[in-house]
């Protein structure tokens, strides 16, 4: 499973989660596909924060969803737990955006090996999370105790769509991704 970049891997993971949410009856706003030369942001004159990747809408409510696609989980023996981590500044931005917008936000982690899908509200994910920065880390990170996340079964390989991921540009025609039959998006 070769990816040219971390961004390509992330884009495909976001596409998979969008398809999964649609299968669960949600409509989605894909903030992650906004092409502004970088990560889409909630912008003001003085400050700005990175937006979570998706707004999921169902039954009159909106939930923000930040998607992280990871190759494998870390067995953190010193803390006696399994962990996934993200850059600390991103985590802080997701929390600020959720607070400013007055909306719940979940962290969704799509793991490739073994194939697993985790989700937790930010408040739950924060319990027991550990910040780390050191000589081997180019940026400060935060690591989450995966026991705080709900685990969703994925059968077989992680079914990430193979369609090309294009940013939403109003002047171009849009390609709509529809999962094939069943509840799972297509496999690689």
**pLDDT tens per residue, range 30-72:** 998 888 777 899 999 999 999 999 999 999 999 999 999 999 9
Helices (H), the chain: 6-23, 88-101, 122-126
Q: Which residue has the higher pLDDT, 110 or 178?
A: 110
Residues 124, 110: Cα–Cα separation, whole Å: 17
What domains lie within the chain, and their CATH numbers?
6-152 (3.40.1350.10)
Average pLDDT rounded to a whole number, residues 9-23: 94
Residue 64's nearest CA partner among 28, 106, 25 is 106
Contacts of 38 (CB under 8 A, 6+ apart): none
Residue 122 token pair: 């930010």
Q: How far apart are CA 73 and CA 113, in angstroms?
A: 8
Neighbours of 12 (CB within 10 A): 22
The two structure tokens encoding residue 107: 């962290």
CA separation for the pair 48, 5 (Å, rounded)? 25
User: What backbone torsions phi and psi does residue 56 show, to the nearest 5 degrees?
Assistant: -105, 125
How confident is the model over 132-180, as pLDDT tens digits?
Answer: 998 888 899 999 999 999 998 776 555 444 333 344 444 444 444 444 4
- State how far the Cα of 151 lies from the Cα of 117, in Å rounded to an integer: 6
Q: How far is 36 from 173, CA to CA, in rounded Å?
A: 18
Say how far apart CA 122 and CA 175 lie, in whole Å: 31
74-91 average pLDDT score: 95
Choice between 24 and 169, residue whose per-residue pLDDT is larger: 24
Using alpha carbons only, give the angle 113, 52, 17 rounded to the nearest 5 degrees: 40
pTM above 0.85, yes or no: no
């Amino acid at each position: 499973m070769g990816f040219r970049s971390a961004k390509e891997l992330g884009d495909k993971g976001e596409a998979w989660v969008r398809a999964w949410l649609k299968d669960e009856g949600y409509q989605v706003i894909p903030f992650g596909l906004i092409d502004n030369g970088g990560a889409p942001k909630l912008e003001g004159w003085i400050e700005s924060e990175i937006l979570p990747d998706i707004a999921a809408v169902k039954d009159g409510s909106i939930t923000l969803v930040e998607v992280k696609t990871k190759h494998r989980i870390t067995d953190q023996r010193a803390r006696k737990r399994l962990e996934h981590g993200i850059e600390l500044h991103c985590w802080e931005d997701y929390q600020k955006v959720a607070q400013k917008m007055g909306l719940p936000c979940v962290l969704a982690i799509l793991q490739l090996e073994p194939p697993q899908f985790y989700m937790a509200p930010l408040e739950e994910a924060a319990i027991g999370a550990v910040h780390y920065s050191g000589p081997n880390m180019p940026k400060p990170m935060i690591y989450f105790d995966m026991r705080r996340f709900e685990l969703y079964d994925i059968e077989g390989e992680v079914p990430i769509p193979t369609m090309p991921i294009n940013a939403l540009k109003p002047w171009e025609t849009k390609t709509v991704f529809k999962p094939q039959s069943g509840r799972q998006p297509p496999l690689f």
